[in-house]
Chain A
């Protein structure tokens, strides 16, 4: 099993460009998440999908959109990138958000720089 995979691993964008970050999991998990991690800020939830067909905003959704394409895939789109979106982006999955001991499995991250 590959677990959670993310593409690309690195990306440099110019202000105003758009891009989509891809995430896929092969663990048959119901829930998927997108986080960003900035120095001194910890992990912040952007959007999550509790189950296929549903998406909800997290703590910092502005400037992002998501698509839960199917049970395996959850993409994050930046429509018009801004320097404030320079960050490391992690995708994660878990069986269900309300399971008592619900481990989240993380992908390796995408390091995005917006110039």
Chain B
């Protein structure tokens, strides 16, 4: 178990460009979450998947943002036509749906992708 991994760790782009981030969850985890963290703030929920189904989306997720988890394993978060306000740390987390073994599906976080939009 290598934990949640995210790629890239850092991304610098120019305003108006599209960017895509990848998240690989812990292998047996069926839930995957995306959060955004701006400087001096706590993480803010963006969206989550159970297997390949996107079950909840925040109002923060404008139509320029799209997330996918096509095979219920890794996930991608794409931002189209980036704006300077999109500069933030994008965090991915995963969890295993609650069962008798694990009464709470604790979220495990990856190291994040830091996006800078110039």
Q: Do A and B come from one complex?
A: no
